[in-house]
Each structure stands twice: as C-alpha cells, then as structure tokens.
Amino acid sequence: MRVAESIEVSAPPEVVWKVISDPTRYLHFLSGFTRWEVVSDEPGGCGARYKMLMRVGSAEVGGLIEVVEWVPNRELAWTSITGIDQRGRWRLRERPRDDGTVCTWVELRLTAGVAGSGLFGWLAEQFAAPTVRGHLRRSLQQLKRQVEHEELRARAAARRRARAAASS
Amino acid sequence: MEATAAEAARTNGRPPEEEARDQSNLVTRLVRGVASQLQRRIPAADLDERDPDYIRENLPAAWLLSSLYFRGEVRGLGNIPEDGPVLLVGNHSGGNVTPDTTVFTLAYCAYFGVERPFYQLAHNLVLSMPGLSFLRKYGTVAASPANAQKALSAGAALLVYPGGDWEVHRPTLDRNRVDFNRRKGFIRLALEHDVPLVPVVSIGGQETALFLSRGDRLARLFGLDRMFRLKVLPISLALPWGLNIGDMLGHIPLPAKITIEVLPPIYLREEFGPEPDLDEVYDHVTRLMQDTLDAMAAERRLPVLG
C-alpha cells in the first residue's frame, strides 16, 4: 500500500518544519494515530527512534521506526525497525504566491505492508488503504489549521510588540 | 423356554447379564483407547514452536477476519505492562470456534509487535485436533500448570481462560455472564510467579451460534470428564450443521461484533497483602470483569450486529 496526501499551508517551510520535527506535537495533529513516543536519547535527527501506532480496522498497527533522512525545512523520512514494514516521508517545498507571500506545499507519504503475506496481505492492503488515506488527509488538515493559527497569533503578537514599541 | 435356549445359544451358553457387562467393558475399553490415542497426540510444551515470522506473515489474514467479519474492537491495550511477564485473564466465548481469541491475538501482536513473547493456554483436545497444529506457531500450548509456569518463567505474556470449556459453551441466554466455575488456578499462578494479572473482558462471542445447553449431565453420563477432561457435551444450533452436538468439528460462526476491553493490571500482593485470600481475589476479579461486561452489554444495541 502506498498512500500520499498533500496540502498547501500558508506559512513558510521553517514554521511547518518546527511542528513536524517535534515528535511531542505529533499526537496533537495526527489523526488516527494512537501513539508517537520518543524511545531514543535524541528526539530528532537521523537515528532518532519512535514507537508509533495507527488505528486501522480492529488493530493498532505500527511499531518501532527510525528516522533515516533529516533535511531541515525539506525532508524527513523514516523506516520501520519492528512491526509492519513501513516507510514514511514528509516533503516540504516553498511555493511563492502572486501576492508576494510564500506558502509551503506539504506532502505526507506512507508505504506499508507485510512482506511474505501473499494474497491476504494484498487484500488487507486494499481494504486498509482508504482508512489510512483518510488518516493522512485529516492529519494534514489539522497540521495546516494548527500552523496557520500559530502563524496568525505570532504575527499579531509581533504587531502588538511593534505598536507598544512605537507608543513608548 | 425356547427363547431362553436360543438366547443361551447366541451367547455361547453364558447368562445375558454377563454378556451385557462384556459389551459395556468393550465400549469402555474402546473409548479409553481413543482417549489414550488423543492424549498421545497432545504435543509436549515447547515454547520454541512459537514462530514470530509466521505470525507476522499471517497478520493480514487475521486482520481481514477480525476487522471485516467480526468488526473487532479492542480497547485498553495500553493497560498491559510494556514488558515482563504478565497473566492475561479472559472470559471465553464462542464454543470451540473462539473469535475473541483471534481478535485479541491480532490486536496484541499488532500493538506490541510479534517479537514480544505471547502464549495462550488451550484445551488439550484443541491442540490434538488434526489441522489445528498451526496454533502452536501462534504460541498456543496445552493448558497445564507446567506449561503456564514455563511461559511465565520465560518472561512472556500468558493468556488464560479460567472458565475454559465450561464457560465457552454456556447457553447464549447467559452470554453476558462471566462464569469461571470457581476455578482459581489462575490466581495461584499469578501469586507463584508474582506477576500482574490483567483482566480481558470480551463480548459478542456467544452470539456466533445459538448455544442451547452445556450438556454437562450428558458429559458426566458418558464419562467424558474422566477420559477427556471434558465437563460438557454442548448442544447448539450452528452453521452448517443445524443441530450441533459436541461442536467437535467446530462450526461457521455468525459475524457477531466482537468487542474486547483490557482492564488495568492488578498487583495481587500490593492490593491484597502478602498472603492474599484466594476467594477474596476471585470474587474481586470476577466482579470487576462482570461489571465491565455489564457496561459493554449496555452499549450493545442488537445481537450479532452489535
């Protein structure tokens, strides 16, 4: 099963990266995920390990994963160590807008399955794919809402600070 | 007089009572022979037969069965301690085809990973049935104190169903009742190994067929208890047989929704003192499970559909 969903977030890539590179924030915006826990000494960077689980049908599937690609503001990829076979990837790309601002195109990919599971494995993937796709889509929408909301609050705070500085 | 003479001739001159006793002995010997053959077929406990790769490769098939057919829902797996030995105590349902075990095993293996050792105790007859040897690869071992001790000593999670054949064949009318038949071996086991006891409550299994009676009197009449450790000779209406007596060949379960809830662990010595009273613990565990089962039954709107 290979599922990919994307969304455009009205914020620069650095702001989106701040959220997706912080594993403690994952459960606040990931939909259908029941666990995302740091199990390595380092919470981020290549080699960081997490225990993750996603509810699909009657089971919570996932396992231990390890970050294998960490390019700030651009790419974050992981692969499974235990549990089902999986590879996941965040891709961030800056997109200029006509009004001179920039936004970020965010893609979340997940490739998952069980090697050697034969016909039943293929069938299970076909039945599970719509659920996983729904989880990814909702996760991206929640990420967008969270990032844009924080961005708005940050801008408002900056304006307030500027006004306060001007009046004093 | 002629009839008596004919009878005597047919029985080689022996009285009919003696002949009847001989026939009865013959039946008893025959049944005992079958019983000993079956006992011989029961594999010795070998925890090494559990095969994580086999389980992993078969997870998708179990997922399809559990998610699509039984619409399984397992809650509270996070209550199971992350590592170390643990005794999972479940109520058992569904006759000889036990969907609650399938749903729970899938959920457990997906949650903790197939790498974490996990064993289940099953009735001796289940493991000696032809075609069910694959269960041993899932970590199913014959129910005996020795096997349970081996599994817990190896630091594994062990799933036991104290109610066993008594509970699994209870009538469908009693489907929402936890009935361990006052069996307390699981408490002794948890105390002996000083492991946490985690209750696992399931609902829906007893709706996979219409279970009419345990047939415990029939079982006693035929001496099944002494020969096969069978307390019951269940009578049910089940697919594809219609009237199903004994359920020895299993049946096709109706697609009843299976819901399972895992409760927080009970640390017996912490909660009941250094020498816990078995009756007190038994009453506590079964009451806790019954309360949970009642709450789950209240959630259920329709039989089978859930």
Residue B71: its chain A contacts at CB < 8 A? Answer: 58
Angle at B207 between CA B178 and CA B109, to 5 degrees: 75
Percent of chain B with pLDDT over 70: 86
Ranges of chain A with pLDDT below 50:
none
Question: What value does the mean pLDDT take over residues B248-252?
Answer: 90
Give the ipTM of the model, two decimals please: 0.87
Residue partners of A61: CB distance under 8 A and separation at least 6: A53, A54, A83, A84, A112, B110
Does B110 have pLDDT greater than 50?
A: yes
* pLDDT, greater one: A73 or B46: A73
Q: CA dist A121 to A93, B63, B64, B141, Å?
A: 34, 9, 9, 27
Chain B contact for A38 (CB, 8 A cutoff)? no
Instruction: Find, in chain A, the residue whose alpha carbon is nearest to that of B71.
Output: A58
Q: In terms of Cα–Cα distance, which of B164, B47, B65 is closest to B105?
A: B65
Number of CB atoms found within 10 A of residue B15's CB = 11
The pLDDT-based confidence of B129 (bands split at 50, 70, 90) is: confident
Residue B65, pLDDT above cutoff 60: yes
- Residues of chain B contacting A64 with CB distance shorter than 8 Å: 113
Confidence of residue B263 (pLDDT cuts 50, 70, 90): very high
Interface test with A, best of B58, B71, B104, B111 (most A CBs within 10 A): B111
Cβ separation of B107 and A114 shorter than 8 Å? no
Alpha-carbon radius of gyration of chain A: 18
Sheet order of strands, B235-238 included: B210-213, B235-238, B242-245
Supply the pLDDT for residue B1.
43
**Residue B245, strand partner residues:** B235
- For residue B103, the model assigns a pLDDT of 96
Q: Are A79 and A67 in contact (CB under 8 A)?
A: no
| A9: helix, strand or coil | strand
Unique residue bearing structure tokens 């790309």: A93
Would you state the torsion angle of the CA atoms of residues B95, B99, B102, B104, taken in this order, to the nearest 10 degrees? -110
Sign of the torsion formed by the C-alpha atoms of A9, A11, A13 and A18: negative
Residue B16 has pLDDT above 90, yes or no: no
Among B58, B106, B113, the residue with its CB nearest the CB of A58 is: B106
